[in-house]
Amino acid sequence: MTTREFFVDMTCEGCSGAVTRVLQKLDVKFEIDLPNKKVFIESDKGTDVLLETLKKTGKTVTYIGMK
Protein backbone atom coordinates (compact mmCIF):
# COMPACT_ATOMS: atom_id res chain seq x y z
CA MET A 1 0.00 0.00 0.00
CA THR A 2 1.21 3.45 -0.90
CA THR A 3 0.36 6.66 0.96
CA ARG A 4 -0.15 9.70 -1.24
CA GLU A 5 -0.52 13.30 -0.11
CA PHE A 6 -2.92 15.75 -1.73
CA PHE A 7 -3.69 19.43 -1.19
CA VAL A 8 -7.46 20.02 -1.13
CA ASP A 9 -8.78 23.57 -0.72
CA MET A 10 -10.98 22.81 2.31
CA THR A 11 -12.16 25.65 4.52
CA CYS A 12 -14.62 23.98 6.90
CA GLU A 13 -16.03 20.72 8.27
CA GLY A 14 -18.48 20.63 5.36
CA CYS A 15 -15.57 20.53 2.94
CA SER A 16 -13.84 17.73 4.81
CA GLY A 17 -17.19 15.91 4.98
CA ALA A 18 -17.41 16.03 1.17
CA VAL A 19 -13.91 14.54 0.93
CA THR A 20 -14.89 11.81 3.40
CA ARG A 21 -18.00 10.92 1.37
CA VAL A 22 -16.18 10.53 -1.97
CA LEU A 23 -13.28 8.58 -0.47
CA GLN A 24 -15.51 6.17 1.46
CA LYS A 25 -16.95 5.03 -1.88
CA LEU A 26 -13.43 3.99 -2.97
CA ASP A 27 -12.84 1.86 0.13
CA VAL A 28 -9.43 3.35 0.92
CA LYS A 29 -7.77 4.34 4.19
CA PHE A 30 -7.38 8.10 4.52
CA GLU A 31 -6.64 10.90 6.94
CA ILE A 32 -7.78 14.52 6.61
CA ASP A 33 -5.67 17.40 7.97
CA LEU A 34 -8.19 20.25 7.72
CA PRO A 35 -6.00 23.06 9.20
CA ASN A 36 -3.27 22.37 6.62
CA LYS A 37 -5.74 21.49 3.84
CA LYS A 38 -4.14 18.09 3.20
CA VAL A 39 -5.50 14.60 2.62
CA PHE A 40 -3.37 11.48 3.03
CA ILE A 41 -4.67 8.39 1.22
CA GLU A 42 -3.32 4.87 1.69
CA SER A 43 -4.27 2.82 -1.35
CA ASP A 44 -3.06 0.66 -4.22
CA LYS A 45 -5.24 2.68 -6.59
CA GLY A 46 -3.49 4.96 -9.09
CA THR A 47 -2.82 8.61 -8.41
CA ASP A 48 -5.08 9.61 -11.33
CA VAL A 49 -8.02 7.68 -9.85
CA LEU A 50 -7.53 9.31 -6.45
CA LEU A 51 -7.12 12.78 -7.98
CA GLU A 52 -10.28 12.46 -10.09
CA THR A 53 -12.21 11.18 -7.07
CA LEU A 54 -11.12 14.13 -4.92
CA LYS A 55 -12.04 16.57 -7.71
CA LYS A 56 -15.66 15.34 -7.44
CA THR A 57 -15.89 17.47 -4.29
CA GLY A 58 -15.68 20.59 -6.45
CA LYS A 59 -12.61 21.77 -4.55
CA THR A 60 -9.21 22.65 -5.99
CA VAL A 61 -7.03 19.53 -5.69
CA THR A 62 -3.28 19.16 -6.19
CA TYR A 63 -1.20 16.00 -5.91
CA ILE A 64 1.78 16.70 -3.61
CA GLY A 65 3.54 13.33 -3.71
CA MET A 66 4.14 10.09 -1.87
CA LYS A 67 4.57 10.26 1.87
pLDDT at 12: 96
Share of the chain above pLDDT 70, in %: 100
Domain ranges of the chain: 2-66
CATH class given for the domain over 2-66: alpha beta
* Residue 10 contacts residue 61 (beta carbons within 8 Å): no
Q: Across-strand partners of 4?
A: 41, 66
pLDDT tens track for 11-43: 999 999 999 999 999 989 999 999 999 999 999
The percentage of the chain sitting over the pLDDT mark of 90, rounded to a whole number, equals 96
* pLDDT value for 1: 86
Better-predicted residue by pLDDT, 41 or 67: 41
